[in-house]
Amino acid sequence: MLREIVLDTETTGTDAKNGDRLIEIGCVELINHVQTGVTFHRYCNPTRPVSQGAFGVHGLSDAFLADKPLFADIVDDLRDFLRDSPLVIHNAPFDVGFLNMEYARLGAAAPPPIDLADVVDTLQMARRKHTGASNTLDALCVRYGIDTTRRTKHGALLDSQILAEVYVELLGGKQTSLGLAAVETVTAETGPALADDGIPLGPRRLRHRLTPEESARHAAFLATLGPSSVWRDYLGEDATA
């Protein structure tokens, strides 16, 4: 099982090294590239004003943030949620830079800094896949037909949910997360899974829900099609049996 965390942040500005702070963090859990519905979302009081440029992007005002907890008050919850799971971030140096700067402010009590080498950067993925094209999150949503009408301002949790959809497309599309649940895994311990008629399931045989009467009527119909019926070739067996 692969657990990944898609992460996004909002901040007071663009320069963590010169005092800008993290004000919102949103995370979405993926299991084998599928959103589970498990999320993490917190606002933080940055103890400094939000720049006008940043406010225009996310709409989070000083007044709104005034009664929110400090980053130090939510870091344990964040650490428990992230665990050791790989992170998926769009333009990872930006968000990782802010997270590591917040960690550094906490001193010895902070989690270890995040290593960019351990982060999946979807911006770099997109640049490799769509060389020369715009690869902003908005541009990728347009390219892949992902609905963003619910999004009037940038928000860390909503952007993480949208990025999770983009990430699956960058990996090759929704088929990467699809499987046939009706086909059971064959293992050395259990042997091949069997259909209702006792014949092993495989890539061309799925478990059916026909009643014995419906199966009999279907077999009678197939018998009228003759020995060259495409059903016989498809099933690889006596289709009327």
pTM, two decimal places:
0.72
CA distance 59 to 50: 10
Compute the average pLDDT of residues 28-51: 97
Model pLDDT, residue 201: 44
Catalytic hit among 33, 130, 154, 218: 154
Lowest mean pLDDT among 151-155, 157-161, 195-199: 195-199
Model pLDDT, residue 134: 96
pLDDT of 239 strictly over 80: no
Residue 154 appears among annotated catalytic residues: yes
Most confident of 122-136, 167-181, 207-221: 122-136
CA distance 144 to 215: 43
Tell me which residue of 12, 44, 32, 27 sits closest to 156, measured CA to CA: 27
Domains of the chain with bracketed CATH: 3-177 (3.30.420.10)
Which class for 171: exposed (0-12), middle (13-18), buried (19 or more C-beta within 10 A)? middle
